[in-house]
Structure 1
Amino acid sequence: MLAGLTFSFFGAAMAQQVKYTAGNNSWDADSLGNHRAVVNFNGNAGTARVVIPWRRRDEHPEQKRIIIQDAQTKKKIDNVLPLTINREQGDILFEAASGKGTYYIYYLPYKNEGRSNYPKGVYLTPENTAGNSWAKTAVIPPKPNATLRELEAIDTFNSFYPMEVIATAAEEKQLLLKHPGAGYLVFPEDRAFPIRMTKDLPQRWIQQGPSQAFSGQADKGEYYAFQLGIYALKALKNVTITFNDLKTADGKTIPAAQLNCINTNGTTYDAKPFTAKVEVPAETVQAIWCGIDVPASAAPGVYKGVATIHPDGMPAMPIRLSLTVTGKTAVNSGFNEPWKQTRLKWLNSTMAQENTVIAPYTPLEIKDSVISLLGRKMGINKDGFPAQIQTFFTPEMTSLSSEAKNIFTEPVHFHFIAAADGKDLKWKSNGWQLITKEAGKISWKATNTTTGLQMDVQASLEFDGSVDYIVKVAALEDVALKDITLHLPFEKGAAKYMMGLNQKGGLRPEKIDWKWDVQHKNQDGAWLGDVNAGLQFTLRDQHYVRPLNTNFYLQKPLLLPASWGNGDKGGITIGEKGKAILANCYSGERTLHKGDTLYFNFHLIITPFHPINTDFQWSTRFYHKYNNLDSIKATGATVVNIHHGNDINPWINYPFIEWKKMKDYIDVAHSKGLKVKIYNTVRELSNHAWETFPLRSLGHEVYSPGKGGGFSWLQEHVDSDYIAAWFVPEFKDAAIINSGMNRWHNYYVEGMNWLVQNVGIDGIYLDDVAFDRVTMKRIKRVLTQNGHPGIIDLHSANQYNKSDGFINSAMLYMEHFPYLNRLWFGEYFDYENNNPDFFLTEVSGIPFGLMGEMLQDGGNPWRGMVYGMTNRMPWSDNADPRPIWKVWDDFGMQGTRMIGYWVDSNPVKTNNPLVPATIYKKDGAVLVSLASWAKEDTTIQLSIDWKALGIDPAKAVITAPDIRNFQQGQVFSKDAKIPVTKNKGLLLVITNR
């Protein structure tokens, strides 16, 4: 707490003690701001003058309003005249109408504009409220006659003390005079005081002075973090840190390998060595965060060593380190006390990176040139490219088949067309060679040559069906080419549907002619397929970086692949050619000069991933809100999704502060037979994260660059160069956008593991995803370890819009589908005006082995049931899934066989293709779901294969059970004309009498 803490401010002609306190939210910040000066006036009613040495970090304080209140009456004082306002102090005149007493001076008032969840804090400009007569007649006291009692923040979280209290210009000048000729100064700083400012020195450092020594205390086994604050008097280039061993007087050692600097070195999210170039502009501060990973076996004692700062072209500076290791052993390396910055170690974690096979997938097997994986096979051609891909899923998608379905009509291949004669260059290959053979991944390579060119191919196939190709084309001499193309020749039966390349999900158009437009469109490939066989392909080069998504694509779009894009010459056409549906990925005319290298990389995902688990769909019912557990259980729900913005998970993507409350809730839920999942992802991060400022010290590695703004806390403490994200007004939780693929994902994996082990979460709810499949695999591993259920469901708002770069949500997230248990697609999905093919491909998840739920406006329950979907409790006021759940329970859906309308052999059909039927079959009974896409009310007749149903037509009864808010109960004869209302449908039960 800040109450009672004091330190000295030294002005040009005065010195006074100023106390910083926290106000316990005792005023309305949204109208008065987060900061005030508490001033005492001991005179009679009249003019008061006070000098406030506030030492503000904000720029241009003279452009911000001053509001003064009488502390007793809370009445605003209009007669106010700022005499001098600058960052160091404010000299203010005001009318103390009540005479002797206390007055509040608010100096950063703001108002919020814009959406409540994306506020724009606008600081109020100065206003002239003083009356003319007062302004003309007020006598300015020759010196202050009111005194500053304290500077008060609305709460401790908003306080500037001590690391955002700036040094004065005079103090900085005196500091430099004491260190003439220095290129930089170092201020070692304790972990308890994260360095926050880069443009100003904190007054605390003026008091302490620069130093070449640091001391601290840690327990055995603790990760001990500390800072080296570098103040660059001249621009510093390529700053590196080296460490030597820490030793006790009697020779006990903590090896130098146990010390690290997160700013300069580490491990990337995909387990590669990481080196960052640290450069410090002149007259700025750079926080260098270091850590000592104290061995659990370390003997107690005082360990001494040196950390040396090395800027290019300047003298190195040794910093003497002294660490006292206690006899106590830290619990869990100190990770349970994150305010000590112990979890910075997680940034370099390699947890769950081993590519072990994740259930329900099976180990890869290779025989000759064919690799087998769950439900699929891929053959490798002599040149290293796919000879064929096959799937073995039944059209129902509930089981595997012994019959193969081919995806290609011929092997995948490149064409290099010579500019001189328009002929296709002939390539020579000596065959491919195996690089690695593991249960989870098989990789191979091949080298192909033609006149003047060499093509090096490296490829891999993983257990989930992800195929990665790195295709390096090097010019051995100058070569002029009319075109370079990749041909993906699809079987027509494996290209019925399509999404991507400006196409919403649905039946594949006859012709696609697409051009690159990365500045506006997050598009680099497509998915073509049928329900039980398909392939996503995406085109990339060696510089691919995952763009931002979900409202932020335009701020960090795709990079145009130099190879595929070729300026504006590249593109993709898709259409019928002979027996194939040919995806022709072309790059256009170019000349390769000797020594030039291009990467024609591409990525394939073979779908489906696994059979549909329909029993999971019927038995696992999500309740998407923090609520009383008895009330939740009474609804029939089985899994509670805890969003952020509530008492047990208040902070977005940082569920570590109120974790004890969360654990208590989960323990009770488990005792009642309920599972609990939490909202936790990495797209944005709460400003309440303990590591906010260490992460800011990493430049743009973790946080995206941006124009700043947003909620007042961000403007006042993060200052600038960030993208303001989601905001929860109830908790004043302001998030910052993550930059994409970075080491925070290592922290995320470790954090998820910690939550499983210490809190007992049963899975996670993902609200859009800002990481790739590498992180998703790691997350699934830690969530499912030791028999934990590890349930993951993904929600996405419809990303097919300008802000998101016109990408289909299923296209964007397909790489994650192998590890999901359910989809929730989602906000802005139109369940009324899209056709069944759109539902099937973009919403249901069925072509990928998943099932889903609906969200927007409660969904369409009749259409949803054709795909086995309901909406989710209690998210929508417009729909309640419990009546459908009751039908599931009354009918006995567990163990039924789902046969969708898309299955040619479905034994129940209608005579109207706009009113399809999906059935759920069990012995002696079938539940038939009908949904209408007809433009008007209509009637249909059923065509039933009674033998396939196993029901005697002579004894059959067709009943429409009475379902609240869905349909009225009635009975139909076998040949009846059944009325179906427009945009609605029916559920029918067919049984023997």
Structure 2
Amino acid sequence: MCLCIFSIPLAAQQLKYTDGNDSWNPNLLGNHRVAVEFTGKENVAKTTIEWRRRDEKPELKRIIVQDASGKEIQNVKIADINREKGTIYFEPVSGKGTYYVYYMPYIDEGDANYPKGVYAKPEYKADAQWLSKIKPNLADNCTVKEIQSVNAFNSFYPMEVIATAAETNDIVAKNSGSSFLVFPEDRTYSIRMRNDLPQRWIQKGVQSTFADTALKGEYLAFQLGVYALQDLGNVKVTFSNLISSNGALIEAKDINCINTDGVRYDGSPFTANVSVSKGKVQAMWCGIDIPQTAAAGTYTGKATVIADGKSTVINLQIKVTDEVTKNGGIDFPEKMTRLKWLNSTLAQENTVIAPYTPLVVKDSEISLLGRKLVLGTNGFPTQIQTYFTPEMTSIGTKANDILSAPLAFHFVDATGKESLQWKNTGLKFTKKEAGTIAWESTSTSQSVQMDVNASIEFDGFLHYTVKVTALEDLTFNDINFQMPFQPTSAKYMMGLGQKGGDRPTTFDWKWDVAHKNQDGAWIGNVNSGLQFSLRDEKYSRPLNTNFYLQKPLLLPTSWGNENKGGITIAPNQKSVLVNAYSGARSMKKGDVLYYNFNLLITPFHKIDTDFQWDTKFYHKYSPIDTIAKTGATVINIHHANAINPYINYPFIEFKKMKSYIDEAHEKGLKVKIYNTVREVSNKAYETFALRSLGHEIYSPGKGGGFSWLQEHVGEDYIAAWFVPEIKDAAIVNSGMNRWHNYYVEGMNWLTQNVGIDGIYLDDVAFDRITMKRVKRVLTKDGHPGIIDLHSANQYNKSDGFNNSANLYMEHFPYINKLWFGEYFDYEKNQPDFFLTEVSGIPFGLMGEMLQGGGNPWRGMVYGMTNRLPWSDNADPREIWKLWDSFGIKGSEMIGYWSENCPVKTNNDKVLATVYKKNGSTLISIASWADSDVKVKLTIDWKKLGINPAKATITAPEITNFQPAQTFTAKDELPVSKGKGWLLIVK
């Protein structure tokens, strides 16, 4: 392919683009203006501005003209407005001098955190008499001085200053034999526009060489801008070795194009097909991983862009200096060095994470921390057991059976009977590692083959791939999967549209993926349970929180069966039967269905109550000395503050962050930061590189939102959280993608270089693979790696009527504390809801309350307070002081849910939890009764280890909680509606 190399002389002097230094209010005037100098004598000023705008239909946007004092000029006439230039007449009310033409004014409508930038429409206020004075042949009498953006971040220069149609046509005409053009571009000038060539490329002309300088060990990113002169498919970039004049080598394997090749978030190979429509621009981001051992010198080689059998060669000239960079140059993300992180495999190996223990296989039994799985010859569980005590504070020797019979698939024929006779190959283990055990088994009948491939991981996660192949044409009345639960392990339920709480006696559910983020449930008791999720081979993680309806679940072809499928739950004499049915269907010989499912065996570990008492969160960026005086031990740094300003991109003010964390460590406090994956700040250096990856990183959407997004990202995105004070506008992440690799690397970098002690997760948009990797890097080298998870109640229309605990249960094995959250009603919901949806106790966790400060009396029954300084209504410090004065650390928590709880009340609406020590006990009492009541305590003094003859029962004074009072064991305790007591028995 031949390229013609040329340059275009500038027809006029290059316009100057400058930074307005935030000298005007963009909410009234927009982000862009032109400074013009009126030099005429007439009463009419005329200016023609070659603004080269990237926005479409600029004639539909208002023009505002002001004089140098900021006074708006009413007499304005707009003529010949288009994307390339605009002619504007105005009355020069202040005589000769500077005037400002604002050309994209907008109004922010909508919620403050979800704005809708609406561009003002043209407005015609000019006086008719003044308009009559405009001469048709009036020459320009203004000089265009400069184009200003309100600040540097809003500037269009240089990569969003468009080439004119004439310039573009000229470059196309001079390369008429080509199917595409390639424009090499420096990493510091991200290619931003897809629909236009930038003027910068016209000025440079088509280049056949890219040259840059790199340090030893640096990841040198660069771009190859592909401009399609016809529709292109399968665009790729290949690389030769780079060789210096001395024969030193940088191998081609150390150069890649992130658009087409890499590593997925789960460690598997990533490949993508890039297509470019005629007249469009595609940025191909490439990177050279310069070895630290590379000899200094200039290396030359070739990058070849290939599309539909045509190719263009770009000569590479890379000068490697003597200097060796630190950390691969990633300490300077503005140089795009962290694009290498997109293909990271850091912490991917499934090593066991504390407190979990290596898996142990004995015959068909697999043992893991506090649990056991027994497999049948067909590969399915015949029994699942846990060994956690009812108190959840220890692992005992008594087995708690979860199943009353083996899990089994049933193929029901037209007569309503199961007629298939199965033979299986037996259980074959395919992997036996400390972190993962995998197995397979094939069952065959005359008409169906069922291939089972499954694995269990050290935390109790089971994944089943069940491939059902028709060996002949056949029809079924139903294909179902039955899970018979032991009734003692099926007390509670959460999911499938059911709020967490007592399991209903019977239950019937149907698939509705368009509206409901539901594909499974958790059924269990406090110390034994099972979560199941039903999926097929096409499962794609939906968007969570209020973005669910923009990317809902895909209906599984197998389980859903065109909405014929569903789940029923019903008890019988020996079990609670969960029946996942898929309904009638026909299969042709060779047809394949995947009845895949996941299981999580709960609890994951015993409760670490001492961590709860020791870890008192202060959830706000404040002076460290101020926080230390509160008694808090861990500071949670949200986003939108001086040291972590930008949402989910905590890399810009990292020096300030490190200084703050260093001071906290010196004064005995830990610091965690807000950083999650769901949306990404527009301040991310890599924004446009990520945009070049299509919908891999950013979700498709209708665009809109804050003006910066509309003006620079353009279209096809979902606008997310916005912070008005710092103009931080986030874009929704698409789900499971290579940004998770970047995220893991970022967490590692922050831990090792900034010293963070953990992260605060505000909902989670990644799966358990990424969570494990994050936990590994956060706890590496002895770092505490504390993770707490916050969620608003997601049982609503926008979130698909899901339960936060059910949605995020796969992450619970690595969470240290829960904070659920906005819209959790702590007054109207019953104890079973608190226990299952809020407390975390059935999963080995503990939590805190948020909405309205929570209910402190009910919270303490589960060991929960609220979090400083979140609510003035329920300051937890007085309860913290009681914890310390009583010495709650080291006590044994025995909840009301345990058959072994030594204290009960005579009212089943008033519950008691015990915190037991040698010689003393703290009793937490809370009421769910409909009115004020009086209750008597039933105390098992022997279990408490206290002599009742010498016992005292006191209620210490706790501000805004209870007055000081003394009781005897025979007294009736007055309990106000919705309140309770904290009593110390000695």
- Is 2:60 the counterpart of 1:59? no
Q: Does the alignment pair 1:180 with 2:176?
A: yes
Structure 2 counterpart of 1:935: 930
For 1:884 and 1:44, the matched residues in 2 are separated by: 78
- Out of 747, 753, 770, which is 1:752 matched to? 747
The reply on whether 1:590 has 2:585 as its aligned counterpart is yes
One-letter code aligned to 2:29: L
Cα deviation digits, residues 97-139 of structure 1 (max 9, x gap):
1101111111111111111000011111111121222223344
| Residue 31 of structure 2 corresponds to residue 34 of structure 1 | yes
Q: TM-score, length-normalised on structure 1?
A: 0.98
Alignment of 1:800-949 (within 5 A): 800-949=795-944
The answer to whether residue 176 in structure 2 is matched with residue 191 in structure 1 is: no
Q: Specify the alignment match of 2:157 in structure 1.
A: 161
Displacement of 1:141: 5.7
* CA displacement at 1:309 relative to structure 2: 1.3
Out of 162, 166, 170, the residue aligned to residue 170 of structure 1 is: 166
Residue matched to 1:152: 148
Aligned to 2:317: 322
Runs of 4+ residues over 6 Å off in structure 1: 8-11
- Partner residue in 1 for 2:4: none
SS of residue in 2 equivalent to 1:236: coil
Structure 1 residue 241: deviation in Å?
A: 1.4
Paired residue for 1:103, among 99, 103, 106? Answer: 99
Corresponding position of 1:580: 575
Which residue of the partner structure matches residue 46 of structure 2? 49
Offset, 1:50: 0.5
% identical aligned pairs: 65
- Is the 1:287–1:697 contact (alpha carbons within 8 Å) kept by the matching residues of 2? yes
Alignment deviations for residues 576-612 of structure 1 (CA, whole Å, 9 cap, x no partner): 1230101000111111111100000000000000000
Report the CA distance between 1:682 and its aligned residue.
1.1
Q: How does 1:131-280 map to 2 (within 5 A)?
A: 131-139=127-135, 142-280=138-276
Contact 1:48 1:141 in 2 (8 A): no
* Residues 639-673 of structure 1: per-residue CA shift (max 9 Å, x gap): 00000000000000000000000000000000000
The amino acid of 2:230's aligned partner reads: K
Q: Partner residue of 1:609?
A: 604
Question: What is the match of residue 551 of structure 1?
Answer: 546
8 Å CA contact retained: 1:45, 1:97: no
State the distance in 1 between where 2:17 and 2:633 align: 49
Give SS of 1:414's match.
strand
Give the C-alpha shift of residue 736 in structure 1.
0.1
- Specify whether residues 429 and 826 from structure 1 end up closer, same or farther in structure 2 by C-alpha distance, changes over 3 A only: same
Mapped partners of 2:939, 2:962: distance in 1? 22
> Which AA in structure 2 matches 1:812?
L
1:454 and 2:460 equivalent?
Answer: no
**What amino acid sits opposite 2:454 in the alignment?**
A
Matched, 1:516 2:511: yes
| Structure 1 residue 24 corresponds to structure 2 residue 21 | yes
9 and 879 in structure 1: CA distance in 2 versus 1, 3 angstrom threshold: farther
The aligned residue for residue 981 of structure 1 is 976
| SS of residue in 1 equivalent to 2:808 | helix
Match of 1:3 in 2: none
Q: TM-score, normalised by structure 2?
A: 0.99
1:387 is the counterpart of 2:382? yes
Aligned to 1:69, the other structure's residue is in SS state strand
Aligned to 1:433: 428
Structure 2: distance between partners of 1:420 and 1:821:
52
Alpha-carbon displacement from aligned partner over 1:478-521 (angstroms, at most 9, x marks no partner): 12111111110000000000001110000000111000000000
Report deviation, 1:244.
1.2
- Residue 421 to residue 719, structure 1, CA distance change in 2 (3 Å): closer
Q: Output the CA distance in 2 between the equivalents of 1:702 and 1:423.
A: 46
Specify the alignment match of 2:706 in structure 1.
Answer: 711
Structure 2 residue matching 1:225: 3-state secondary structure: strand
Q: CA deviation at 1:146?
A: 0.7
- Look up the equivalent residue of 2:57 and give its one-letter code: H
Does the 8 A contact of 1:928 with 1:989 survive in 2?
Answer: yes
Contact 1:23 1:154 in 2 (8 A): yes
Q: Identify unmatched segments of 5+ residues in structure 1.
A: 1-7
Amino acid at match of 1:168: T
Aligned to 1:75: 71
Contact 1:398 1:611 in 2 (8 A): yes
Cα deviation, residue 178, structure 1? 1.2
Check whether the contact 1:117–1:729 (CA below 8 A) recurs between aligned residues. Answer: yes
1:700-720 C-alpha deviation (Å, 9 max, x unpaired): 000000000000000000000
CA distance in 2, matches of 1:704, 1:964: 49
Deviation at 1:735, TM superposition (A): 0.2
Shift of 1:878: 1.9
Letter in 2 for 1:296: Q
Report the counterpart of residue 663 of structure 1 in structure 2.
658
- Report deviation, 1:211: 2.0
Report the CA distance between 1:46 and its aligned residue.
1.6
Alpha-carbon distance, 1:331 to partner = 1.3
Residue pair 1:93, 1:140 contacting (<8 A) in 2 also: no
**2:533 is equivalent to residue 538 of structure 1:** yes
Does 1:799 find its partner at 2:794?
Answer: yes
- What amino acid is the match of 2:644? N
In the TM superposition, residue 419 of structure 1 has moved relative to its aligned partner by: 2.1
What's the CA shift for 1:43? Answer: 3.0
Q: Check whether the contact 2:44–2:133 (CA below 8 A) recurs between aligned residues.
A: no
Residues 412-437 of structure 1 show CA distances to partners (whole Å, capped at 9, x for unaligned) of: 11101122563342221121101000
Residues 231 and 286 in structure 1, CA contact (< 8 A), matched pair in contact too:
yes
Deviations 1:727-785 (A, max 9, x none): 01111000000000000000000010000111000000000000000000000000000
Q: CA deviation at 1:140?
A: 5.2
Q: 2:464 touches 2:596 (CA, 8 Å); kept in 1?
A: yes
AA aligned opposite 2:262: G
Matched residue count: 980
Q: Give the conservation status (yes or no) of the 8 Å contact 1:45–1:100.
A: no
- Check whether the contact 1:9–1:15 (CA below 8 A) recurs between aligned residues: no
Please tell me whether the aligned partners of residues 50 and 91 of structure 1 are also in contact (alpha carbons under 8 angstroms): yes
- Using the alignment, how far apart are the partners of 2:316 and 2:801 within structure 1? 54
Separation in structure 2 between the aligned mates of residue 159 and residue 10 of structure 1, nearest angstrom: 24
Q: Is the 8 Å Cα contact of residues 464 and 818 (structure 1) preserved in structure 2?
A: yes
Tell me, yes or no, if the aligned pair for 1:52 and 1:91 is still in contact at 8 Å: yes
Return the letter of the residue paired with 1:765. Answer: Y
Instruction: Give the CA deviation at 1:298.
Output: 0.6
| Cα distance in structure 2, aligned partners of 1:948 and 1:423 | 53
Amino acid at match of 1:220: K
What residue is the counterpart of 2:3 in the other structure?
Answer: none
More moved, 782-791 vs 127-136: 127-136
The code of the aligned residue for 1:579 comes to K
CA distance in 2, matches of 1:562, 1:658: 48
Contact 1:525–1:537 under 8 Å retained in 2: yes
**Counterparts of 1:922 and 1:976 in 2: how far apart (Å)?**
23
**Residue 274 of structure 1 aligns to which amino acid in structure 2?**
F
Q: Does 1:561 align with 2:556?
A: yes
8 Å CA contact 1:780–1:790 kept in 2: the answer is yes
CA displacement at 1:16 relative to structure 2: 2.8
2-structure distance, mates of 1:616, 1:250: 60
Question: Partners in 2 of 1:421 and 1:963 — Cα distance?
Answer: 65
Partner of 2:779: 784
Alpha-carbon RMSD? 1.1
